[in-house]
Amino acid sequence: TGTEKKYATANATGNPEGQRLTKVDRADGPVATKKVPEEVAKALMQARNNMKNQKGNTMTQKDLASKANVDVKDVASLERTGAEFPGMDKVLKLQKAANVRLTGSDIGAPMLGPKKKT
């Protein structure tokens, strides 16, 4: 019988934060953080204003944050042009919840088109 300890590393994901810190360490000058572009802020704000919450009113930042399972501050920072860009995982959650593209070339386009009749 073997008494060696077995390590399961096949399913472990690496932390990309270390790569960013290495990049910061190797940089000579200050490293700029990503800022929210104006078209992303406008697209999210417009999509949220077009959506309705459960009461039938215009959806608030708090409503959208709870629907996307992110903090309200993340929604607020994405709607503010020039603010620090939140994590990509949060952006993708908000993109899905608001049904609007916030990444790529067609920012502001709906994520899912009209349903096709079969």
pLDDT for 12-55, tens place per residue? 666 666 666 666 566 666 656 678 888 888 888 898 888 887 78
* 10 inside domain: no
Largest Cα span, the chain: 66
In a domain, residue 112? The reply is no
Within-domain flag for 50: yes
Domain of 49, in residue numbers: 38-98
pTM of the model: 0.63
Q: Is 113 domain-assigned?
A: no
Residue 84 resides in a domain = yes
Considering its fold, how many domains does the chain have in total? 1
CB 74 within 8 Å of CB 40: no
Q: How many CB atoms lie within 10 A of CB 89?
A: 9
Q: Burial, 15: exposed, middle or buried (Cβ in 10 Å; 0-12, 13-18, 19+)? A: exposed
Contact 81, 37 (CB under 8 A): yes
User: Is residue 87 one of the residues assigned to a domain?
Assistant: yes
Whether residue 13 is contained in a domain is answered as no
Task: Assign residue 54 the CATH number of its domain.
Answer: 1.10.260.40
Radius of gyration of the chain from its Cα atoms, rounded to whole angstroms: 20
- 111, part of any domain: no
First to last CA, the chain: 61
- At residue 16, the pLDDT reads 61
Instruction: Identify the pLDDT of residue 84.
Output: 84
The string of pLDDT tens digits covering residues 68-105 is: 999 999 899 888 888 888 888 888 898 888 888 888 88
* pLDDT at site 51: 86
80 token code pair = 């503010």
CA distance 26 to 10: 30
